[in-house]
Structure 1
Amino acid sequence: MVCHRDKHIRSLQAQNYRQLRKECLKKKQLFVDVTFPPTNSSLFLDQDRTSEIVWKRPEEIIKDPKLFVEGASPNDVTQGILGNCWFVSACSALTHNEELIKKVIPDARAQEWSDENVYCGIFRFCFWRYGSWFEIVIDDLLPTKDGKLLFARSKTPNEFWSALLEKAFAKLYGCYENLVGGQLADALQDVSGGVAETINVKKVLADGPTKDSTIRLFKTLQTAFDHQALIVAAIAAKSKEDIEKSLSCGLVKGHAYAVTAVRYIELDAKSRSFFNFFSSDARQMMIRLQNPWGEREWNGPWSDGSPEWEQVTPAQKAELGITVDEDGEFWMPWEEFVKYFTDISVCQLFNTGWFGFSKEFNEYIFFDEWTTNGVKLGDPKDRSGGCQNFAATFCFNPQYQINIASSASDVMIALSQKEVYNENLKQREPFVTIGIHVMKVELNRHHRIHQAINPVGTSDYASARSVYLHLTNLDAGRYIIMPTTYAPREQAEFMLRIYSKEDIETKLLKKDMPKSIFLITCHKVLAVSRLKIIEATFTTPRDTDIYCYIKADHDKARTSTIRASYTAKWDEMFIFYRYNLQQEYHLEIWEDHTLKDKPIGKCFISAAIDNDTRTVSLDIESTTTTSKESIGKLTLEISSFDDPMYL
């Protein structure tokens, strides 16, 4: 299939806002976007469909139109008759991040209706796709019926930024009809460029909503919100009939709500003493949500005007903005929220120096693809191996190595696939199912792995634009990240983003094994061995820092340094490619000193190529005395195979 994604994006980028505006000024004409015209083709997938919709400019709808009236707020984005709460909720969440608003609506002051600007009927917006921000130009002709906006609008009648942003979004997706029933995570990414994750509430609270688990989820969401994450929550509908069905509590199934606050609310703060000030029983976990309809609010405990609010001082109510208006925004106690809501989409904005803030995270980005490379299944050049259910081909996927220097590290990984549009550029082809698999590998591995080992994390697999994996408390060492499709032989382009607070080494692994060595003659790789240094036990206590040094023909490696007494435990693996079938491994135990390290013992093993794995215990011969006395035992596991691409 020919990829029409780039053609679709290029067609959007072809319009130059400044040039088009200049032409409008010269001709003294208002802009009409011929690439997204005010006709049925921009409304429906079937452009022959009849409708009574009339396209009008804001000044034809109301006097004194404005892009913004007193800035952006959640009430500026109210859903119309279009079933696009996923987008409207994302825009409501967007209003809490002023820097992002400036990114999505660039140079808003110059686009405003004002005496300073000559009105030309042209506007521009920016969206993020597949690693970059790009601009979309639109005219301001909006769909109306009986003189009123049909789709997104502000509760302030003369404010139009949300309606115009929705039109630009419809142009991005091909037409307004394509905005019906989209994915929350996609909309959040489109307006932020962040890393989207969908949290399944029942899965997180799988063992039951215990106090600890609910508090942990609350604090996770609170931290994300405080770090400017965009958050949208939804109640999944189990059937089409359930979509937008109202519950007795006032909530709506199959509907998305923007999260506009996550915080503790102090109860009866006036009468509380110093000693109970920090008591969790004297405060309530609360979440505030915005219904994009601008109405239909939660009517249970802590709803607008409920008696629970009597526990809160008037000053705090004023600070929280408590009202009894039917504006779609409402507070809920956290324990009720997790009872009803099933999915939470969180779009993290990892601070990598965007928007002029000080850098907090390191970001590493790779663009690649799953491809058969035109070869048969099983060929080493195949890069479309499928998930770990397909063990024979799994390791054919692209592989990315990361090195983590210190333990207890966190790494966040986002995998996004490139969208493919059909020939008319109005509909996207179905996504392939994708996921992320991470495993810990040998400390000295420089080549692709051929047998999966030591899994440390696997994301959910989803037929979605993006999947996300957060790895916590990783040990120091070397890891391989493997982005995969679910089934082998599926082809798609992808972007892999890796985030870490620490500076980690990252690279794409391309080669399957070392190349031949040319000395006097050519030495080819004949076999491969893996050594796992398990532990050293000593006859007398060492009370010192030690490490194990390994030498094998043209290669060498060493373990990490650890504190040893009677025992030193490593459990660290190393891989060696063998040019000599009679290869010996020399192992030395060294004391780590500030000025000069000191060897204290040695042993060696000749690893037969037996295509098997075995555990051996070797005597450690002293190197500090003239006699060859044993100072302890070194236990290791060794695997040797005559296929250099087996491990």
Structure 2
Amino acid sequence: SSEEWKKVSDSERKSLGLTLENDGEFWMTFEDWCKNFTDVDICRIVNTSYFSIHKTWEKKMMNGAWTKDSEPLLNRSGGCFDNKETFLQNPQVRTPVFCEVLKILPVSCVTPPSIIPYPALWLQVEDNRSYRLHKLTVQERVATSQYINTRTVFLKRILQQGRYILIPTTYHPGIITKFILRLFTDVPSKLRELKADKPKMTCWSLLCGYPRRVVQIKIHSAEGLQKQDRSGADPYVLIKCENRNVRSPVQHNVTSPVFNTQVIFYKKNIDSPVIIQVWNSNILCDEFLGQAVLATSPSDPQEQQRLQLRGRGGREAAEMPGHITIKVFSSEDLMEL
């Protein structure tokens, strides 16, 4: 702020609506602006998209930093995607997408005086992920901005319903600086940096048990499902493990739906099965279309599998129409996935 503002009286400040607060608003001379900036980007408060019901942007903001540590689990400066061994050591910011289509405009700003090339990268992850990502297996890279020598990076994308992790990165690993992340969406959303690597051990763990195996599953698609009406069916998948359930979005009017749903479970009992059920969505009562029961052992094949749907009653229950295509990863190391 300029010293000249102190010459302005309180009454004039009030009439101008001037407040001297740390709210991101600042003043500088035009000459100083030309010395320090090359571009101006204007973010409209009004959402002008023809496809959006909401006409104002919802904004979330988070302050973060790239920090360096010799311990890989504590390092937060892993460099760009090309640095395969360290990339996932960057800050990881989780944001859920609650609706079918969501327009997202993230803006990442490095605090002055650092001017370094950096982007933001979006990964679609498991619908129930609450801990940091340690290995890329079934996750999808859905968007990334360019590496450019500028203090601000803009990225606008349309995302489907699901859970995403935004990873702000520098180009080279080991660079230490701060950043600001702003997320503009057409519906309310959330930003949360993932800091824990695995479930926390507490005193309750001695009584209730602590996870012994991590299981990661991607339900790609189903085919040959039984028709429920003239248009086909409105299927969704329900994935169960121990006392936790994850449900996918409904796919309408199809008997061979593509789900692309990802889930992750931390199992306390390694013998507990994972049950993947396919249901048909109805207004009054959903109808069971079949299920697959998985043992999820680390020795299981990691390539894509096509499984026959069966009725209730275990892995040897009677066959039902349809197959489901999945990919499974599991490990005794809770920080492998």
Query: What's the TM-score bracket when you normalise by the shorter of the two chains?
Result: 0.7 to 0.9
Aligned mates of 2:19, 2:171 — CA distance in 1:
33
Give the superposition deviation at 1:449: 1.4
Q: Which amino acid aligns with 1:433?
A: P
User: Which residue in 1 is equivalent to 2:168?
Assistant: 483
**Structure 1: gaps of 5 or more residues:** 1-11, 23-105, 111-124, 137-164, 174-178, 189-195, 197-346, 353-357, 421-429
CA contact (8 A) 1:581 1:609 kept: no
The equivalent of 1:511 in structure 2 is 196
Matched letter for residue 349 of structure 1: R
Greater Cα radius of gyration, structure 1 or 2 = 1
Does the C-alpha gap of structure 1 residues 539 and 510 become closer, same or farther in structure 2, counting only changes over 3 Å?
A: closer
Query: 2:120: which partner in 1?
Result: 436
> Structure 1 residues 184 and 603 mapped into 2: Cα distance closer, same or farther (>3 Å)?
same
Corresponding residue number in structure 1 for 2:142: 456
* Residues 172-187 of structure 1: pairs in structure 2 closer than 5 A: 179-180=34-35, 182-185=36-39
Separation in 2, partners of 1:401, 1:109: 42
Give 2:227's match in structure 1, choosing from 537, 541, 551. 541
Corresponding residue of 1:296:
none
Is the contact made by 2:225 and 2:256 (CA closer than 8 Å) also made in structure 1? no
Residue 325 of structure 2 is aligned with which of 632, 635, 643?
635
Note closer, same or farther for the CA distance 1:505–1:595 as it changes in structure 2 (3 Å cut). Answer: farther
Structure-2 residue corresponding to 1:383:
76
1:116-142 superposed Cα distances (whole Å, 9 cap, x missing partner): xxxxxxxxx99999x611456xxxxxx
Which TM-score applies when normalising by structure 1? 0.45
Choose from 68, 85, 90 the match for 1:392. 85
Quick one: structure 1 residues 135 and 535, their matched pair in 2 at CA, closer, same or farther if it must change by over 3 Å? Answer: closer
Partner of 1:360: 56
Change (3 A) 1:128 1:397: farther
1:530 maps to 216
1:193-232 alignment to 2 at 5 Å?
196=41
Matched, 1:417 2:99: no
2:335 aligned with 1:645: yes
Residue 416 of structure 1: CA displacement? 0.4
**Residue in structure 1 matching 2:5, options 17, 23, 28:** 17
Aligned to 1:32: none
Q: For residues 427-447 of structure 1, what are the alpha-carbon distances to aligned partners after superposition, in whole Å with 9 as ceiling and x for unaligned?
A: xxx523221111111112122
The one-character-per-residue Cα deviations of 1:139-160 (angstroms, maximum 9, x if unpaired) are xxxxxxxxxxxxxxxxxxxxxx
Paired residue for 1:613? 302
The structural deviation recorded for 1:550 is: 1.3
Please, what is the CA RMSD of the aligned residues?
3.3
Preserved contact between residue 304 and residue 327 of structure 2 (Cα < 8 Å): yes
Indicate the residue corresponding to 2:264 in structure 1.
575
CA distance in 1, matches of 2:153, 2:254: 45
The separation in 1 between residues aligned to 2:181 and 2:94, in whole angstroms, is 12
Give how far 1:465 is off: 1.5
8 A Cα contact 2:291 2:311, kept in partner:
yes
> Is 1:444–1:557's contact at 8 Å kept on the other side of the alignment?
yes
2:336 is paired with a residue whose SS is coil
Map of 2:155 onto structure 1: 469
Contact 2:60 2:190 in 1 (8 A): no
Structure 2 counterpart of 1:362, which letter? Answer: E
Preserved contact between residue 545 and residue 591 of structure 1 (Cα < 8 Å): yes
Q: 1:612 and 1:450, CA in 2 relative to 1: closer, same or farther beyond 3 A?
A: farther
Separation of aligned partners in 1, 2:152 and 2:21? 13
Q: How does 1:552-567 map to 2 (within 5 A)?
A: 552-563=241-252, 565-567=254-256
1:599·1:623 contact (CA, 8 Å) conserved in 2?
no
**Shift, 1:407, TM fit:** 3.4
Q: Report if the CA contact (8 A) 2:225-2:289 is conserved.
A: no
Report Cα offsets for 1:317-350 as digits up to 9, x if no partner. xxxxxxxxxxxxxxxxxxxxxxxxxxxxxx3333
Matched residue type, 1:360? T
Report the count of equivalent residues: 321
Distance 2:8 2:311 in 1: 83
Instruction: Point out which structure has higher relative CO (alpha carbons under 8 A, 6+ apart).
Output: 2
Change (3 A) 1:566 1:362: closer
Whether 2:224 is the aligned partner of 1:370: answer no
Q: Residues 611 and 405 of structure 1: is their aligned pair in 2 closer, same or farther, counting only changes over 3 Å?
A: same
Give runs of aligned pairs for residues 146-165 of structure 1, distance below 5 A. 165=29
SS in 1 for 2:115: coil
Contact 1:516-1:523 within 8 A present in 2 as well? no
Q: Which consecutive residues of structure 2, in runs of 5 or more, have no partner in the other structure?
A: 48-53
Describe the superposition over 1:557-589 as per-residue Cα deviations: whole angstroms up to 9, x where unpaired.
122212354423212111112323333111222
Tell me how far apart the structure 2 counterparts of residues 127 and 459 of structure 1 sit (CA, whole Å): 34
Alpha-carbon separation, structure 1, partners of 2:85 and 2:43: 36
Whether the aligned pair in 1 keeps the contact of 2:60 and 2:189 (CA below 8 Å) is no
Q: Find the counterpart in structure 2 of residue 38 from structure 1.
A: none
Distance 2:178 2:71 in 1: 19
Asked if the contact 1:360/1:501 (under 8 Å) is kept, the reply is yes
Determine helix, strand or coil for the equivalent of 2:303. strand
1:157-306 maps to which residues of 2 (within 5 A)? 165-166=29-30, 170=32, 179-180=34-35, 182-185=36-39, 188=40, 196=41
Partner Cα separation in structure 2 for residue 603 and residue 434 of structure 1: 44
- Does the Cα contact within 8 Å between 2:235 and 2:254 map onto a contact in 1? no
User: Does the aligned pair in 2 maintain the 1:128–1:134 contact within 8 Å?
Assistant: no
Cα gap change, 1:134 to 1:509, in 2 (>3 Å):
same
TM-score by length of 2: 0.82
Give identity over the alignment, percent. 22
Q: Could you report, residue by residue, the CA deviation over 1:495-534 in whole angstroms, capped at 9, with x for unpaired residues?
A: 0011112223332222222224735646333332211112
Deviations 1:15-59 (A, max 9, x none): 4835x456xxxxxxxxxxxxxxxxxxxxxxxxxxxxxxxxxxxxx
- String of CA shifts for 1:375-427, please: whole Å, max 9, x gaps: 3152x12111111111111111111112223334321111101113xxxxxxx
